Amino acid sequence: MNQYEAGDEVFSSKDDAVEGEEIYESVTAPYVSLSSRKPRRRSFLAIGSFVAVVILGFAGYLIISHFSKTNDAQKIEGKVAMSADELHTVVLVKHLTVYWAGPMVGAKYALIANKPGSSFVRYLPNGQGLDDTTTSYRVIATYSQKGAFLVTQSAGGVTGNVGFTNVDGNAVFYVKTRPTNVYMGIKNKDIQIEIFDPGIDQALGLSLIHNQVQQIS
């Protein structure tokens, strides 16, 4: 009688070598009937299911990543009303040079910083006005400007303009007929700031307060 080894045991037939539908790793394994291979078929199904989960998980990651990148892009295109903390985070993560006039109670902020050399922070009182393109909201603009202090100081000496140095040592000027727009050349930096506020003397007032207009860092 032929004997079949399965591990450390010896069986009188190939069928006996298959116990509980498990295939022993033995010399008889390649000859076991297909009906005895169900566990291995289930293994293939399990592997297939695992692969499917991995693929779906990766697809989900790509979708989430895509929307995350899209959302990040919108945040620097002025399309998202952000809290002060969200604005701060975006500026730091994107390594942007952005100045603002500090937080406003109840306000949110829109940032436009998708072009090199300039950025704009729009103040949105009560979070309203994101899609309003009128000049109804405070805006702090940051421009890359070589020799910003001297450029701004020189502009202040032009007839029809008002120029001075503020308490922080920055050069400031504005056009007499347009006091809503005040320009500030930051001392020892190639940065010029434009402060716009539709309120009477609001922009000028911001330029006079110590450390009111500052870099987000």
Structure-model confidence comparison of residues 12 and 72, the more confident one: 72
Question: Strand 161-165 to strand 139-144: parallel, antiparallel, or no bridges (unpaired)?
Answer: unpaired
The pLDDT tens digits of the residues spanning 73-122 come to: 899 999 999 999 999 999 999 999 999 999 999 999 999 999 999 999 99
Tell me, yes or no, whether 60 and 89 share the same domain: no
The pLDDT tens digits of the residues spanning 200-216 come to: 999 999 999 999 999 99
Tell me, yes or no, whether 116 and 134 share the same domain: yes
DSSP 8-state assignment for residue 149: H
Element spanning 44, H or E: helix 38-75
Tell me, yes or no, whether 100 and 159 share the same domain: yes
Tell me, yes or no, whether 44 and 99 share the same domain: no
Tell me, yes or no, whether 28 and 59 share the same domain: yes
Angle, CA of 184, 187 and 193, to the nearest 5°: 25
Containing structural domain, residue 174: 78-215
Tell me, yes or no, whether 172 and 101 share the same domain: yes
Q: How far apart are CA 193 and CA 98, in angstroms?
A: 9
pTM: 0.69
Tell me, yes or no, whether 61 and 135 share the same domain: no
Tell me, yes or no, whether 86 and 151 share the same domain: yes
The pLDDT tens digits of the residues spanning 56-68 come to: 454 444 433 444 4
Tell me, yes or no, whether 171 and 112 share the same domain: yes
Work out how many domains the chain is built from and give that number. Answer: 2
